[in-house]
Amino acid sequence: MAGQAMSMHPDIAELREKYELAAESPTGKAVAGLTFLTGLYLAISPWVVGFNRFTTLTVNNLVVGIALAMLALGFASAYGHTHGIAWVAPVIGIWTIISVWVVSGHVATAATIWSNVVTGVIALLLGLGAASAVRAWGR
pLDDT tier at 12, thresholds 50, 70, 90: low
Provide the pLDDT for residue 11: 59
Query: What confidence score (pLDDT) does residue 6 get?
Result: 56
Q: Is 9 left (phi over 0), alpha (psi -120 to 50) or beta?
A: beta
Tell me the pTM: 0.79
pLDDT exceeds cutoff 50 at 86: yes
Between 21 and 90, the more confident residue is: 90
* Spatial distance between the Cα atoms of 132 and 139, rounded to a whole number of angstroms: 11
pLDDT (tens digit per residue) in 39-83 = 999 999 999 999 888 899 999 999 999 999 999 998 878 766 677
